Amino acid sequence: MKGALKLISILSGLVLWHLVATRVVNDSSLLVSPLVVIAKGYEMMFVTAELYPHLVASSWIFLYGMLIAALVGVPLGFLMALSPVTRDYVNPWMTALYTTPRIAFAPVLLLWLGIDIASKIAIVFLGCVFPILINSFYGMRVVSREFVEVGRSFRLSGVALFVKILLPASVPFILAGLRLAVGRGLTGVAIAEWFGATEGLGYLIFFAGQTFNIPILFVGVAVFALLGIFGFQVLKIIENLATPWRKEFETK
Amino acid sequence: MPGQALRRGCLSIAGGLLLWEILTRLLLENELLIPPPTSVLRSLWKLTLSGELNRHLSATLFEFVCGFSTACIVGILLGYLMGRYRWFDDLMDPWIATLYSIPVIAFVPFIIIWFGIGLFSKIIVVFKITAVAIMLNTAAGIKTIDPVWLELSNSLRLSPWETTYKIRLPAALPYIITGMRLGVGRALLGVIVAELMAANAGLGYLLRDASETWDSPKLFVAVVLLAAMGVGSFILIRKGEQKLAPWRETAEW
């Protein structure tokens, strides 16, 4: 029932879109029917294969940015959770960086790192790092007192306590942070490729917008949406694999 | 915030700025890459005196307020319906999920093609980027209402309208505020993206103008102002959140 209603909603939306595009607007520089978009997408994927270089370029930027963000965000989040002094000193800078719209940093990063891949990775990094950092911080902070006390009564201390208790307990939070970071990272990719790129999905969209090529514009946007959904699902699977005890807990 | 944390925070900011000033003065001969804070301040002062800053700030603020308030009204309304009626939720869900996963920047070309480059297109961008967060949070708030309260309203024979605005909406208020907090940062991003694409005033325009003319102090003025706007609106909403829902542990960031 629930699935059927969703399906109906999607189908009727697409039909409405088709009718508006062909009967009401009827101007291919404003809006095209979803059928045209699908045909264009098929052509770009299987006939001319022009989509792939863009997809590959964007994927590398995204993966590097995410990876560096995780490598920096997780340890820094832990450090801030475990040492209040570090937190107090880092906090104001972090708040400022976090609440500033990322796009404001794009020109500055471009100025510093050039228009190569480095500045693009930096923009993605800046988008991804905060959700990861904040979630690692909270994960470490909210580790149940009882877990820590159990560890202590087994005479765990220092490194052992960290590896056996604190780290596993905060894994779900870190993964949630990564999942939040996917969306922000994709936005970062689009922003980065908007400034002085020659390939990539962001460039594709930007170029199509400038040349009023509506079908390509729609294809680019759809690919972005699919990537977002795909990344989200992949991380969900990883989450289930990495924290099997949660699932057990839920089924009980 | 306890006193010690505040003191350390101020110390950290002051120390960072001082270090920045000294390093840029000593190491760099050219202000192009990183201007020292004092020249950023000088640039800010110049822009203020010439009235240019006022023009950009008021343009950005106006677009922000228009878009954000539209998003709040529509978002709360639709979110309420989604929370109340299961079928409406199912109907909206696939579209919201799609809309939500598209980066706003990928959306801007469409909006410019359809709505032009005026005020209206900026309001649409801000609306698109903000409304979903508010909608989803409102729906969650309406859904998770404690059934005891609804029973109470039943036994008091409140009319459906009274139940809505005396019970349901106040119960959902903390959720709505959370949605607004999430929305504020995104709304600011939306304004800037829209202004970067096409505008003749606003902080986004200032940003592009400065970066295209290699005027680093001016570029940093724009960045700092955006940071101030971001932090300011965030603190404001957080205060509101603490006031309206003091029992909830509010986010630190």
Q: Where are the domains of chain B?
A: 37-244
B211 sits in which H/E element: helix B203-212
The model's pLDDT over A141-188, given as tens digits with 9 standing for 90+, comes to 877 777 778 888 888 777 888 887 888 888 888 888 888 888 888 888
Mean pLDDT of A117-144: 88
Mean pLDDT of B188-198: 83
Q: Is residue A39 part of a domain?
A: no
Question: In the structure, what pLDDT confidence band is assigned to residue A62 with cuts at 50, 70 and 90?
Answer: very high
Contacting residues of B for A103, CB less than 8 Å apart:
105, 189, 192-193, 196, 204
Percent above pLDDT 90 for chain B: 7
In this complex, do A96 and B192 lie within 8 Å of one another by their Cβ atoms?
A: no
pLDDT of A250 over the 50 cut: no
Residue B157, Ramachandran bin (φ over 0: left; ψ between -120 and 50: alpha; else beta): left
Percent above pLDDT 70 for chain A: 96
Q: Is residue A15 part of a domain?
A: no
Residue-averaged pLDDT of chain A: 84
Contacting residues of A for B104, CB less than 8 Å apart:
187
B70 touches chain A (CB under 8 A): no
CATH number at residue A129: 1.10.3720.10
CB A131, CB A181: distance < 8 Å? yes
- Residue A184: closest CA among chain B residues belongs to which residue? B103
Choose, out of B101, B182, B189, the residue to mutate when testing the contact with A (most A CBs < 10 Å).
B101
Q: Taking the CA of residue B23 as centre, how many other CA atoms within 13 Å lie in the half-sphere pointing to its CB?
A: 8
Please identify among residues 178-237 of chain B the ones whose CB lies closer than 8 Å to any CB of chain A.
185, 188-189, 192-193, 196, 204, 207-208, 210-211, 216, 219-220, 222-223, 226-227, 230-231, 233-234
pLDDT of B94 over the 50 cut: yes
As a residue count, chain B comes to 253
pLDDT of A56 over the 50 cut: yes
Question: In the structure, what pLDDT confidence band is assigned to residue A251 with cuts at 50, 70 and 90?
Answer: very low
Contacting residues of B for A211, CB less than 8 Å apart:
none
Question: In the structure, what pLDDT confidence band is assigned to residue A247 with cuts at 50, 70 and 90?
Answer: low
pLDDT of A238 over the 80 cut: yes
The model's pLDDT over A177-212, given as tens digits with 9 standing for 90+, comes to 888 888 888 888 888 888 777 888 888 888 888 888
B8 touches chain A (CB under 8 A): yes
Report d(CA A185, CA A188) in Å as an integer: 5
ipTM: 0.73
**CATH number of the structural domain B37-244:** 1.10.3720.10
Q: Is residue A6 part of a domain?
A: no
Report d(CA B71, CA B133) in Å as an integer: 10
- Residue B1: closest CA among chain A residues belongs to which residue? A88
Mean pLDDT of A52-68: 93
CB A54, CB A200: distance < 8 Å? yes
Query: Tell me, what's the pLDDT at B249?
Result: 56
Query: Tell me, what's the pLDDT at A63?
Result: 93
Question: In the structure, what pLDDT confidence band is assigned to residue A76 with cuts at 50, 70 and 90?
Answer: very high
Report d(CA B60, CA B126) in Å as an integer: 11
Mean pLDDT of A99-125: 86
Contacting residues of A for B216, CB less than 8 Å apart:
111
Q: Is residue A38 part of a domain?
A: no
pLDDT of B75 over the 80 cut: yes
Query: Tell me, what's the pLDDT at B74?
Result: 94
A112 touches chain B (CB under 8 A): yes
- Residue A219: closest CA among chain B residues belongs to which residue? B106
What does DSSP assign to residue B247?
T
Closest in B16, B185, B204 to A99, CB measured: B185
For residue A165, give its domain range.
51-251
- Residue B109: closest CA among chain A residues belongs to which residue? A209
Which among A182, A177, A179 is positioned nearest to A81, based on CA atoms?
A: A177
Mean pLDDT of A113-141: 88
Q: Is residue A14 part of a domain?
A: no
In this complex, do A228 and B32 lie within 8 Å of one another by their Cβ atoms?
A: no
Question: In the structure, what pLDDT confidence band is assigned to residue B81 with cuts at 50, 70 and 90?
Answer: very high
Domain count of chain A?
1
**Token digits of residue B134:** 């508010």
Question: How many angstroms separate the first and last alpha carbons of chain A?
Answer: 27
Long-range contacts of B228-234 (CB under 8 A, 24+ apart): B229/B60, B229/B188, B229/B203, B230/A96, B230/A99, B230/A100, B230/A101, B230/B185, B230/B188, B231/A95, B231/A96, B231/A99, B231/A100, B233/A99, B233/B184, B233/B185, B233/B188, B234/A95, B234/A99, B234/B181, B234/B184, B234/B185
Choose, out of B105, B211, B237, the residue to mutate when testing the contact with A (most A CBs < 10 Å).
B105
Residue A212, Ramachandran bin (φ over 0: left; ψ between -120 and 50: alpha; else beta): left
Mean pLDDT: which of A70-74, B113-117, B244-248 is highest?
A70-74
Report d(CA B158, CA A4) in Å as an integer: 35
Q: Is residue A162 part of a domain?
A: yes
B30 touches chain A (CB under 8 A): no
